[in-house]
Amino acid sequence: MGLCSSSISLADWPQAELSNDFIQTTLYLPDASQGYYQGTRFDWSGAFKSLTYKGHSFIEPWFENYDPKLHDAICGPVEEFTPLGYAEAKPGDTFVKIGVGVLRKPDDKNYAFARYYDIVDQGTRNVKKHKDFLEFTHELNSPTGYAYMYHKTVKLTKGKPELVLEHSLKNTGKLPIETSTYDHNFFIIDKQPSGPTVNIEFPFDVKGEGKGFGSTILSQGKQLIYSRELAKKEQVYSAGLQGFDATSASYDIRIENQKTGAGVHITGDRPIQKMVYWACATTSCPEPYIQLKAEPGQEVKWKITYAFYEKQKQ
């Protein structure tokens, strides 16, 4: 999952700024040779650099080591799709990661998100810039029969402290597309470390098992709370939080900094397939997965909304 720190050297990567009356944010733009993120785990469209609201910061580097091809050297919100055709591919053959490209399978080992895979075909990308939104398009055709037109808009809502990620994925190939996607989030609110000042809230009574659950991080009704601050390089992890139902109403998460009063309210318009939870000393990450299916010629759409707010400090 990477090392945890908020220090990183800076460089002049391709980027664009968005703003409305409430939010200022900067995103890195996809570029095969000069882009900030060139890894093969996460979608290259919409990689964030920073976001501020009412003087509160929500996005910044959470990791210690940076390399453009390192799988998690990226700030959130950031999304990943499970691979297409990896299990069927033989060593030396190709498979597809939506938002990344056609990749080479090097051997018969299981797919590993932390591993870098050689990119055989990056597809065709297009970015349209506007004052308060960016439009990303990624078109890909693979020799395996998978092909798609992926469109993602990163938009600041007019008159609201709100960020919206709108997606559409059209299957233009010969094979059906069946994948899962999730947003890792990676929020850091006002540089506050993972600990008792950070609360994660759901609309359901949440339960979790895994590393640190029941000791370092505790289920308390609809909330996950920390019993203490996490040490450097310490992690907590659950492969699947429990309590949500099969409707989009469960895709409703709040991450709050109890010390500064800043928070982000995350909602999605599709049912949750599973909910992973991971945190290190610098960031706390609920990771809601959704399932996507598209037969040849079909298009699927989904949306994630982030409402930023400030409440009275406790």
Mean pLDDT estimate for the chain: 95
Residue 314 has pLDDT above 80, yes or no: no
* Alpha-carbon radius of gyration of the chain: 19
Each residue of 264-312: pLDDT tens digit? Answer: 999 999 999 999 999 999 999 999 999 999 999 999 999 999 999 998 7
Res. 204 pLDDT band, cuts 50 70 90: very high
The reported pLDDT for the residue numbered 76 is: 87
Task: Give the C-alpha separation, 257 to 262, whole Å.
Answer: 5
Task: Give the C-alpha separation, 283 to 190, whole Å.
Answer: 11
The reported pLDDT for the residue numbered 27 is: 97
pTM across the whole model: 0.94
The reported pLDDT for the residue numbered 11 is: 59
Task: Give the C-alpha separation, 200 to 226, whole Å.
Answer: 10
Each residue of 94-134: pLDDT tens digit? Answer: 999 999 999 999 999 999 999 999 999 999 999 999 999 99
Res. 1 pLDDT band, cuts 50 70 90: very low
The reported pLDDT for the residue numbered 10 is: 53
The reported pLDDT for the residue numbered 94 is: 98
Res. 4 pLDDT band, cuts 50 70 90: very low
The reported pLDDT for the residue numbered 313 is: 56
The reported pLDDT for the residue numbered 6 is: 40
Laid out side by side, the sheet with 284-294 consists of 79-81, 177-183, 284-294, 274-279, 236-238
Domain range summary for the chain, segments of one domain joined by +: 15-310
Each residue of 242-258: pLDDT tens digit? Answer: 999 989 999 999 999 99
The reported pLDDT for the residue numbered 8 is: 46
Each residue of 16-63: pLDDT tens digit? Answer: 999 999 999 999 999 999 999 999 999 999 899 999 999 999 999 999
Kindly report whether the peptide bond that precedes residue 77 is cis, defined as omega within 30 degrees of 0. Answer: yes
Residue 196 has pLDDT above 50, yes or no: yes
Q: Which residue, chain included where needed, has tokens 């092909």?
A: 147
Residue 180 to residues 81, 82, 83, 84: CA-CA distances in angstroms?
Answer: 6, 5, 9, 10
Measured from the Cβ of residue 295, the count of other Cβ atoms closer than 10 Å reads 10
Task: Give the C-alpha separation, 13 to 145, whole Å.
Answer: 34
The reported pLDDT for the residue numbered 5 is: 43
Residue 154 has pLDDT above 60, yes or no: yes
H or E element, residue 310: strand 299-310
CATH architecture for segment(s) 15-310: Distorted Sandwich (2.70)
Measured from the Cβ of residue 312, the count of other Cβ atoms closer than 10 Å reads 5
CB 62 within 8 A of CB 75: yes
The reported pLDDT for the residue numbered 7 is: 43
